[in-house]
Structure 1
Amino acid sequence: MASLINLKTFTDDRGNLTVIEKVVPFDIKRIFYIYGVDDSERGGHRHLNTIQAAICIRGHCIIYSNNGISESSFLLDSPDKCLLIQPEDWHTMHSFSDDAILMVLASEYFDAQDYIHTPYPFQYSKAV
């Protein structure tokens, strides 16, 4: 199941420095970011192999996750929160703030064959 981790952040009067080092359980092969999202829902899939780490580096959004057994929604509203999304986690991203930038680190290069677009059979809720 998807899980939140807190990224190590150093803060002083000059600002904040957040480090992504030795916290994701995979070698990073792909980085992408999503921004300028209207009221659309993004995602709507799970993977065969890809593990992802999602960080809303600006603004906020909600990620819904369902692994076929349980479901959860996660509010990403700080750049020191990182959501680890396992391959079996069917997920959607929604409720993006106007300024949101969601950065995703992925364990695999893009492969259309790795995507499963069919949700698990039980209904889900977008509530946090």
Structure 2
Amino acid sequence: MAYLINIPTFTDARGNLTVLDEAIPFQIKRLFYIYGVDNSARGGHRHHQTIQAAICIQGSCTIINDDGEHTEHIELDTPRKCLILETKDWHVMTNFSPDAILLVLASTAFDAADYIFDPYPHEQQSS
């Protein structure tokens, strides 16, 4: 299941300095950021090999994560908070604030064959 980590941040009268060097639990092979998002959802996939770290460095967004057993809504609303998404984590990014910038660090270079777009099947509970 995806999990949150707090990124070391140093604060003084001049502002904040957040350091990723030792905080990310994998070697970074790719990074990208998402911004200017309208009311659309982004993502809607998981990976065969890639682990990701998501940090909303400005504004806020919600990541809906499903690991096949549990679904969780995680609010990213501070650049000190980082969500680690493992390969089993099918995720959708939504509810972007108008000023949101979501930075994503990945453990692999881009490979279209690494993506799994089908969500987990969940049995309907009878009432």
TM-score (ref. length: structure 1): 0.94
Q: Deviations over 1:27-48 (max 9, x none)?
A: 1000000000000000000000
Q: Deviations over 1:68-125 (max 9, x none)?
A: 01111110000000000001100000000000000000000000000000000128xx
Instruction: Give the unaligned 5+ runs of structure 2.
Output: none
Contact 2:57/2:100 (8 A) holds in 1: yes
Structure-2 residue corresponding to 1:36 = 36
Say if 2:100 is the partner of 1:100: yes
Structure-2 residue corresponding to 1:87 = 87
Q: What secondary structure, in the 3-state scheme, does the structure 1 residue paired with 2:113 have?
A: helix
Say if 2:12 is the partner of 1:24: no
> Partners of 1:95 and 1:122 in 2: how far apart?
24
Instruction: Give the unaligned 5+ runs of structure 1.
Output: 124-128
Structure-2 residue corresponding to 1:126 = none
> Partners of 1:8 and 1:122 in 2: how far apart?
37
Name which one, 1 or 2, has greater alpha-carbon Rg.
2
Letter in 2 for 1:53: A
> Partners of 1:64 and 1:21 in 2: how far apart?
26
Letter in 1 for 2:48: L
Structure-2 residue corresponding to 1:14 = 14
Say if 2:92 is the partner of 1:54: no
How far off is 1:19 after superposition?
A: 0.5
Q: What secondary structure, in the 3-state scheme, does the structure 1 residue paired with 2:121 have?
A: coil
Q: What secondary structure, in the 3-state scheme, does the structure 1 residue paired with 2:62 have?
A: strand
Q: What is the number of equivalent residue pairs in this alignment?
A: 123
Structure 1 outlier segments of 4+, above 3 Å: none
How far off is 1:23 after superposition?
A: 1.7
How far off is 1:6 after superposition?
A: 0.5
